[in-house]
């Protein structure tokens, strides 16, 4: 495994902190480049990757800013144009040696939380979800969305883009739905179980049709996380290192060293399946002195989680 950190596209103190911790793999979570409407253009991607490279950092993953929308997820008008842009995007990233693109297939509301300031250890703050607070909420504007629409859209997308990903040498990494519930406010969700992941991998059998193994989501599915790593290991292209207490309908994010999952066993499982790709800490607590304006992604908790992850990696090193 290669420890990585989400870093902003323009250098600030977080770049320095990454280097000081011995982390030289960057995950870019937002493309604030150009006018932010053409992230697939080669010149803008070149400028982005070279900024990191000149500082001694490699852009290992771009996630969360894939140039597709619900039109593509649901097979609606405009998807063909979006998919063609995505193909160009993959080819450009391949030329620039960016090895992984992480994406999701959540229509409408994506990352869903009902609380973003739950008190945790030592007065830190964490996030959580309680589906009871959503049961009587109005439907999303996009509703109704049926699972069949999402399955058909995903199959079409994979058939179109995986051959280009193979040509470009850029692996796709599909993130679980978060939370992994079958429906939220009238919109179905399909990336919600190990069985559905196996179905997705079978839609197009290729190492380039892979997984963002977000540990917290698999824990919320009720999975034995180390066992699932071994089960899906051939398809894991990217890891989100995190944990939750609870299940898909009600959970709270935990500190990385205090949740119910055996994190050392997870690291051992990644080693056993031969995973050598990027892994980043995710959904960290907000610590004293931080303002919680970006819950789950403040800096101090990520530094702590990175040190913890590096310690586990050292313990399992052969």
Just list the catalytic residues: 175, 214, 240, 282-283, 297
Cα 13 to chain center, whole Å? 23
Apex CA 72: angle with CA 69 and CA 76, to 5°?
110
CA quadruple 29, 35, 40, 42: dihedral sign: negative
Q: Are residues 217 and 207 in contact, defined by beta-carbon separation less than 8 angstroms?
A: no
Cα 275 to chain center, whole Å? 16
Helix 225-232 vs helix 194-203: angle between axes, to the nearest 10 degrees? Answer: 10
Cα–Cα distance measured from residue 140 to residue 187, given in angstroms and rounded to the nearest whole number: 7
Closest CA to 2 of 262, 210, 267: 267
Cβ contacts of residue 174 below 8 Å, gap of 6+? Answer: 102, 103, 104, 105, 191, 197, 200, 209, 210, 211, 212
Closest CA to 121 of 251, 310, 298, 256: 256
How many other C-beta atoms can be found within 10 angstroms of the C-beta atom of residue 110?
A: 15
Q: Which tokens go with 229?
A: 């790593």
How many other C-beta atoms can be found within 10 angstroms of the C-beta atom of residue 77?
A: 7
């Amino acid at each position: 495994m290669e420890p990585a950190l989400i870093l902003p596209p323009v250098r600030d103190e977080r770049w320095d902190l990454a280097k000081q911790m011995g982390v030289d793999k960057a995950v870019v979570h937002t493309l604030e480049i150009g006018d932010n409407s053409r992230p697939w253009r080669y010149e803008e991607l070149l400028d982005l990757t070279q900024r990191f490279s000149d500082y001694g950092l490699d852009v290992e993953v771009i996630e969360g800013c894939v140039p597709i929308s619900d039109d593509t997820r649901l097979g609606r008008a405009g998807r063909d144009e979006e998919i063609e842009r995505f193909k160009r995007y993959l080819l450009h990233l391949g030329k620039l040696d960016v090895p992984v693109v992480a994406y999701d297939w959540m229509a409408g509301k994506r990352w869903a939380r009902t609380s973003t300031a739950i008190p945790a250890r030592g007065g830190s703050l964490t996030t959580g979800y309680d589906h009871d607070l959503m049961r009587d909420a109005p439907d999303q504007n996009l509703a109704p969305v049926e699972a069949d629409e999402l399955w058909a859209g995903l199959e079409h997308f994979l058939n179109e883009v995986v051959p280009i990903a193979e040509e470009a040498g850029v692996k796709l990494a599909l993130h679980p739905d978060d939370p992994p519930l079958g429906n939220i406010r009238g919109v179905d969700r399909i990336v919600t179980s190990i069985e559905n992941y196996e179905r997705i991998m079978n839609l197009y059998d290729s190492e380039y049709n892979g997984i963002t193994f977000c540990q917290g989501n698999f824990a919320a599915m009720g999975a034995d996380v180390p066992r699932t790593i071994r089960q899906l290991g051939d398809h894991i292209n990217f890891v989100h290192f995190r944990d939750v207490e609870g299940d898909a309908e009600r959970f709270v994010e935990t500190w990385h060293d205090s949740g119910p999952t055996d994190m050392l066993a997870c690291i051992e499982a990644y080693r056993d399946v031969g995973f050598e790709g990027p892994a980043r800490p995710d959904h960290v607590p907000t610590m004293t002195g931080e303002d919680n304006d970006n819950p789950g992604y403040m800096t101090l908790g990520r530094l702590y989680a990175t040190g913890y992850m590096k310690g586990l990696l050292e313990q399992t090193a052969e």
